[in-house]
Structure 1
Amino acid sequence: MRERVLESTDRPQFYSEIQVGNGVKIEIKQSKMIEFWESKGYRNLKMPKGGYQLVKIKNKSIISEAVDEELMHEVKNQLLNIEEKFNVWTEFVEKDFITKKTKLALDILKEINLNICNAKTAYFFFSNGVLKVTEDEIELIPYEEYGGYVFESQIINHDFVLVEESEKLKSDFDAFLRNVTNNKEDRYNYLTTAIGYIIHGFKDSSLTKAVILVDETLDFSGEANGGTGKSIIGRAVSSVTSTLTKDGKSLNTKGNRFFYQDLNYSHKVMYLDDVNEDLNFEDFYSVVTGSLSIEEKHKAPYSIPFEISPKLMISSNYMVKGSGGNSDERRRIEIEIFPYYSKDFTPLDDFGKKLFDDWDVQEYNSFFNDMISYCQKFMCNGIMNSAPINLNENKLILETNMSFVEFADMNITFNSGEDKISKNKATLYNHYRDKYPMESRNVSNVMFKKWLAKWSKRRGYEDSHRKSDGQSIVDFFRKIDNVE
């Protein structure tokens, strides 16, 4: 008896219905089923840590992690809801067609561009499209026209509406930024362009800096004040770009090979929130300047290339320690937060609502428009630095101690018109030990010499050590531009 294949106009088709006598024989082709799944966007994404991840490509650019059950539901939807082939569905579920071998046969995504930003173009991902931002234009484009790939987890759950500058109402967050910069235009520009820098996806090898938020007024007695709003800035950043936030109080970097294991390719910022005074910025130089080595437990290490590795942001109630010197300084964008807010007067007291949590759709849209404008300002102007308030003084105290700074300021002074003064180092050291016996008990001669050099640098002087008649002399020179 002849077998006749029953034709179907639906494509792609992974099954055949063959007329056999008075019945119908169902044949399901594994190779055709693989083609069906591929037509629906399923692929194997080659992972940097090794192995493959089943994903689904949506709108030609959105990568969504997938599981085996989704393959099953695609077939079920096709057969029951679209084609109404109940007999084919029955045949499918009675056999095992979703195997490891089948999944491995899916096409592989090897080289995917996860960051097509450049110095003058940034992209932000919203529910209703990709926001393309340049120096002078903001445009919402469909995901189908985006030239790279984006993980679904990076998409902001908000339909962005561009508000023209003439109609724009500044957000509560922008008012908050005005407050924490003491309503000083130069400080406001510094902070907003730093935010623009950190949310811009482009990694510039000539601008490898961490954004560090510290309080303008610090308590060096060991008690942290806080409550000035630094974490709100961190939340703002995480609201517009994929951010891994780590609790700064519980950080353990010493000998911790697995510190970065929760980072992945989707993260654009790593935010260390409210770090303790013992954190050493030097431990994070690799995050700022180069490729990032990742090691997970029981897995082979791998590397995230510099171009798509996350930028670093830190907030602290203390000065963030580092190695000192130009190498350390050039890796920092340090923002001093004015103490407009405190534990006794919070943003909730000021605005009458919780920032972010109590906003409606329109308020969120105003916030997103402002954040985009900060990024645009950064692309046009770079980091708009402002003069430090207490930063240099606080760094000097951190590098030495408060008693030494007080002593040096009182005992190393230039008279009007002087550009050089000389001090006997031993006499100076003993005088310091006599005046501050408790604070100086662990300060050696060598440490005292180093502190003199740090004090000189922070005060804009130069120091030089020499011998004279068997005595150690230290000369302090006032730089030409510091002479009265």
Structure 2
Amino acid sequence: MFFKNRVWRITKDEIEDYRPGEIECNVWADEVIDHKVKVLPDPFTITRNEQGEYDIKIENKECLFLRYLWNTSRVHWQEEQSLKRKGEKLAPEKRQEEKLHLINKIYTLGYLLHRYKDPSKPWAVFAMDNKISEDGESHGGSGKSIAYKAVRYFMKSVTLEGRNPKLTENPHVYENVTSHTNYILVDDANKYLKFDFFYSQLTGEMTVNPKHGKQYEIPFEDVPKLAITSNYALRDDSPSTYRRLLFSVFSDYYHEDKSGEYGRSWSPKDEFGKNLFKDFTEDEWNHFINTMARCLQVFLKYPKIDPPMENVTKRSQLTQMTQDFKDWADVYFAPDSYADQWIIKKEAYDNFKEHFPGAVRTKFNKINQFTKALWIYAEYRGWELNPVALGRDDKKRLIRTVGAPAKSTEHIYMQAHKKELFDLHGKSLDSNPQDISDDDVPF
């Protein structure tokens, strides 16, 4: 890193600090970061035990940016507030979950700051909210953009307007990108973003098509790194997409209170009494820059660090099956309803169509789409659809002959609230002759 008064060579173990001209290296004037810096003691310490488990200790609470990162990692902040009022503490495993969220954010920032393109690490950072919305709507204000706009202070960057639904259809989308651009931020991506559009820039060359110039290619080693922030989960959860993602998850500690759920809105400015970056003093800039340099060291030192993935997975599942389907399934498969029994699949589909005709028009106009949502819902709930013990076929279907005249009919069976299984006629399948006592058998 090049600054007005110093040059830093950052390795995984130390920051080597030089005066300008003390080491041989050339840099463009516009690559010099316009701040004076001083190396400070480590703002945090990250350790990894023999089991591969990470821990972090914050050593410097003066860095506002680091405090902001911690707050955006506090996914149990409301529970902690409630416990604190009773004189109790958050459970250790929940605190550990929050620590891992912070360590992951530190790692993602270090990854983006490191300009070398490693073909074995073809990742885009995808920043999303931890909160699983029950109304299917987005809830912004969690601070995702602040974190990944911070990277722009260290390198040449291009920001793309993610809300534009036709962003990936624009043939000139990269017209401002050059071989000197190090970073692209797709900010506030819409719910229909086609992530596969970015595959080529993550794993190969980038084609730039200026409006008033000749098309050209940027070689892989010079293609900018990519980060995406979104209030929505990705709709594509294919293995090829997940291999290319480094997720980052943000709590709702900072939030907008549009619905009155929280009682008030809360932002980093409310927390610190100033805007991050814009209102920084030179001392605060120095703390921020030191923290980012240490983030780079974390990336150099450790393998890929994912966040706790439970809510990442659940938000993706909710996006795929839709809120309408979940609302229907929550009622249809409630206790004392249609769970834990054989149901003709078409009858379940007809029930869904009756209650959510709008959803049928937009997504579920074919029964195979309904079937896919059933499987996703079962996984979302931790239940089992069409258990193997019921004799499903190689396509995971339950086919039985019913009716008059008799015909083969596809059924579904959502094992949800009961451990025992039942046959088509409601008889328990868990009765085992070996469990019957033979004490009185006359032989």
What is the TM-score when the length of structure 2 is the normalising length?
0.71
Aligned pair partner of 2:353 in 433, 439, 452? 433
Per the TM alignment, residue 171 of structure 1 is displaced from its structure 2 partner at its CA by 0.6
The Cα shift of 1:146 comes to 6.3
**Structure 2 residue aligned with 1:181, among 58, 73, 85?**
73
- 1:401-433 alpha-carbon deviations (Å, 9 max, x no partner): 113224445556899xxxx98653223222323
Q: Is the 8 A contact 1:265 1:309 kept in 2?
A: yes
Alignment match, 1:238: 152
- Report sequence identity in percent: 28
Q: What do the CA deviations read for 1:453-483 (whole angstroms, capped 9, x no partner)?
A: 33345456576125433112456799xxxxx
**Structure 2: distance between partners of 1:319 and 1:431:** 28
For the residues of structure 2 that align with 1:408 and 1:147, how far apart are their CA atoms? 66
Is 1:338 the counterpart of 2:251? The answer is: yes
Q: Which of 388, 397, 401 is the equivalent residue of 2:322?
A: 401
Name 1:209's counterpart in structure 2: 123
**Structure 2 CA distance for aligned equivalents of residues 286 and 372 of structure 1:** 29
- Say which SS state the counterpart of residue 374 (structure 1) adopts: helix
- Maintained 8 Å contact 1:424/1:474: yes
Count, aligned residues:
350
Deviation at 1:246, TM superposition (A): 2.1
SS in structure 2 at match of 1:390? helix
| Matches for 1:73-222 after TM superposition, within 5 Å | 124-141=1-18, 150-165=27-42, 170-182=62-74, 184-217=98-131, 219=133, 221=135
Letter of the 2:67 partner, please give it.
A
Query: 2: CA distance between counterparts of 1:314 and 1:471?
Result: 46
Q: 1:429 to 1:363 in 2, by over 3 A?
A: same
The 1:453/1:225 distance shift into structure 2, 3 A limit, reads: closer
Maintained 8 Å contact 2:162/2:188: yes
Consecutive unaligned residues of structure 1, counting only runs of 5 or more, are 1-123, 479-484
Counterpart for residue 481 of structure 1 = none
Q: Is the 8 A contact 1:186 1:386 kept in 2?
A: yes
Contact 2:136–2:323, Cα closer than 8 Å, also in 1: no
SS in 1 for 2:106: helix
263, 271, 289: which one aligns with 2:177? 263
Moved more, 352-361 or 397-406: 397-406
Structure 1 residues 435 and 258: CA distance shift in structure 2, 3 A? closer
1:118-157 deviations in whole A, cap 9, x for unaligned?
xxxxxx2222343211111111346657676543322211
| Structure 1 residue 340 displacement after superposition | 1.1
Preserved contact between residue 61 and residue 67 of structure 2 (Cα < 8 Å): no
Relative to its length, the structure with more strand (as a share) is 1
Question: For 1:273-352, what aligned pairs fall within 5 Å after superposition?
Answer: 273-322=187-236, 324-343=237-256, 344-352=265-273
Q: Which moved more, 1:459-468 or 1:442-451?
A: 459-468
Partner-residue secondary structure (3-state), 1:383? coil
Superposition RMSD in Å: 3.0
Give the Cα–Cα distance (whole angstroms) in 2 for the partners of residues 325 and 475 of structure 1.
26
The alpha-carbon deviation at position 365 of structure 1 amounts to: 0.5
Provide the TM-score with structure 1 as the length reference: 0.65
Offset of 1:261 from its aligned partner? 1.0
Hey, what's the Cα distance between the residues in 2 that align with 1:126 and 1:381? Answer: 26
Partner of 1:471: 409
Q: In the alignment, is the contact (CA less than 8 A) between 2:196 and 2:241 conserved in 1?
A: yes
- Assess, with a 3 A threshold, how the Cα gap between structure 1 residues 254 and 335 changes in structure 2: closer, same or farther: closer
- What whole-Å deviation, never above 9, does each CA across 1:215-239 have from its counterpart, x for those lacking one? 2225575754312211211221112
Change (3 A) 1:459 1:256: same
* Structure 1 pair 431–147 and aligned structure 2 pair: CA distance change class (3 A): farther
Larger Rg: 1
Please report how far the alpha carbon of residue 250 of structure 1 lies from its aligned counterpart in structure 2 after TM superposition. 3.8
The reply on whether 1:355 has 2:276 as its aligned counterpart is yes
Q: What letter corresponds to residue 236 of structure 1 in structure 2?
A: A
